[in-house]
Amino acid sequence: MRVLFTGSFDPPTRGHEDIIRRLCETFDEVRAVAFINAQKAGFFPPEYRLSLLRQVCAPFPNARADAAEGYVADYVLREGIDLIVRGVRGEEDIAYEMQMADFNRKAAGVETFFVNALPGFEHFSSSEVRRRLLSGEDVRALLPEVIAEEIMQNWQKNRISPR
């Protein structure tokens, strides 16, 4: 079964990495796709997000990173995806995610499964990483080990910032 794990991955967190790992243990193919909203400036440039996501997916032979614009439903139909998976950290995520799941079911005929963040990961979010970076804090504990140093070094040297 081919599953799609979507997000902004701006940047990928340890929570994202954990969900990718868990999905890879269960499904044949996992696509982690950074959806780029052309109407909204991301914190990190799209090509850098994809590079980071590829590094996070690299240890998992059945995971592949991608980036896309537009609707998730269009990607599902174009790529032959069987199931959408969304990570949820708590009740605040559920209402929005259920609306999106309903839209994707109607538009592409695909179901969405929700995967709970494991205890300890419920506060790991890309927005929290960005907030801490902007306030000068060390964010290594929130990031996958394979990208933590790179993000910290690039941030300190180059101040990679919103486009």
**Predicted confidence (pLDDT) per residue in 33-70, tens digit:** 999 987 777 899 999 999 999 999 999 999 999 999 99
Domain membership of residue 68 as a residue range: 2-158
pLDDT reported for residue 159: 60
Domain count, the chain: 1
In terms of Cα–Cα distance, which of 96, 134, 97 is closest to 115?
Answer: 97
CA dihedral 64, 23, 86, 153 (to 10 degrees): -60
- Please check whether residue 54 lies inside any domain of the structure: yes
- Please check whether residue 163 lies inside any domain of the structure: no
pLDDT reported for residue 76: 98
- Please check whether residue 140 lies inside any domain of the structure: yes
- Please check whether residue 15 lies inside any domain of the structure: yes
**CATH code (residue 31):** 3.40.50.620
- Please check whether residue 71 lies inside any domain of the structure: yes
pTM of the model: 0.91
In terms of Cα–Cα distance, which of 30, 36, 27, 3 is closest to 17?
Answer: 30
